[in-house]
Chain A
């Protein structure tokens, strides 16, 4: 699967690359992400050439508190991916157990609704070509 992966709509970036390049992720963690039926479910994410940044946005994930830090912090994510989809992905990536809740914040303090799309968040809070999101694990409802 040298071309853009069929399944995952998240692809990792390494290092300080400014462009939204598509690369296989570190531990293959992006594969097998359970898609929570995104609105544009009909169209697969396969066709984008590497330089096409229109459909994906760059996200930088930062851990808060004693939440494990992700080995890969930079991701190229479809604009229509919801916060809940991202949460599910990070939980799987970090291998959190079911009783652990994960929260994502913009501006380091505000949790967008689970159905909020990252593309919208990028429009509102993105800067320097990326959206910084903080994530924090908590057993809030346990």
Chain B
């Protein structure tokens, strides 16, 4: 049961639905305190979703700054053993070890899919290189990424901010989204494209979504066939 090109096209995410899905996504994020927010460009209808999070260089989240839904308690506490309380985190951890990740979700008009832009810097402002970012990527995805890294993570100028970001290239997004969307259509269940998509691509770059997003469904049905 392979999908024809025409079928794949019908799973594209046009801008209005992109914004709608983002709005629902952010509403849920606010409910659970997950930190996503919408940033609009003034004098323009354009905008994107944005989230900032902090991680230790070894990939773990500093326990003080950790999203409370994360589960790796023991592991995290072991690595941040010297952090005694909130005020001491910045001093006891070497500043070179805490990394600030910024994630942006934009809409690609050429591919008609969302795109994940990200960058990371140390607390002193130094941007991480791609190699350094890869070190923080979940090991289960590293093997896949390393087989064709330049096809999947590229550096691009942020179309709205004009600053260099890394992106997970959108050219294959339709490929892995199509089965999920086809399935939802077949089962007559509406889903939130952004939540589904981000749950798949996020972990590749160190971003994970709390499980409650799984229950997020579109307020309206998916676009009529």
Contacts and interface: CB of A to CB of B under 8 A. Distances in A.
A124 interface: yes
A134 B183 contact: yes
Contacts of A108: 180, 183-184, 187, 189, 191
Contact of B147 (A87, A98, A120): A98
Contacts of A36: 140
A101 interface: yes
Contact of B196 (A99, A101, A111, A140): A111
B176 A103 contact: yes
B205 to A, nearest CB: 12
A120 B69 CA distance: 11
A120 B1 contact: no
A101 B5 CA distance: 21
A132 B151 CA distance: 33
A114 B203 contact: yes
Interface stretch (B30-38, B82-90, B206-214): B206-214
B180 A107 contact: no
Interface string B173-197: 0011011101110010101100110
Interface residues of A, number: 36
Which of A116, A117, A142: most chain B Cβ within 10 A?
A142
A114 B2 contact: no
B80 interface: no
Contacts of A124: 211, 214
Which of A87, A99, A106, A108: most chain B Cβ within 10 A?
A108
Q: How large is the interface on B (under 10, 10 to 19, 20 to 34, 35 or more residues)?
A: 35 or more
Contacts of A31: none
B196 A110 contact: yes
A118 to B, nearest CB: 12
Given A64-B180, A141-B147, A109 B196 contact: yes
A93 interface: no
Given A64-B179, A98-B147, 20 more contacts: A39-B74, A64-B180, A65-B178, A101-B176, A106-B211, A109-B189, A109-B195, A110-B196, A110-B199, A110-B209, A110-B213, A111-B199, A114-B141, A115-B71, A120-B71, A121-B211, A125-B214, A140-B200, A142-B148, A142-B151
A107 B214 contact: yes
Nearest to A101: B144
Contacts of A98: 143, 147
A65 B182 contact: yes
Given A65-B1, A111-B200, A134-B183, A116 B211 contact: yes
B145 interface: yes
Contacts of A113: 138, 199, 202-203, 208-209
Which of B1, B187, B202, B211: most chain A Cβ within 10 A?
B211
Nearest to B210: A113
Contact of B179 (A99, A107, A138, A141): A138
Given A120-B211, A141-B152, A114 B140 contact: yes
27 contacts: A39-B74, A66-B1, A106-B211, A106-B214, A107-B215, A108-B183, A108-B189, A109-B183, A109-B189, A109-B191, A109-B192, A109-B214, A110-B195, A110-B211, A112-B214, A113-B203, A114-B140, A114-B141, A115-B138, A116-B71, A117-B71, A136-B176, A140-B176, A141-B141, A141-B145, A141-B151, A142-B148
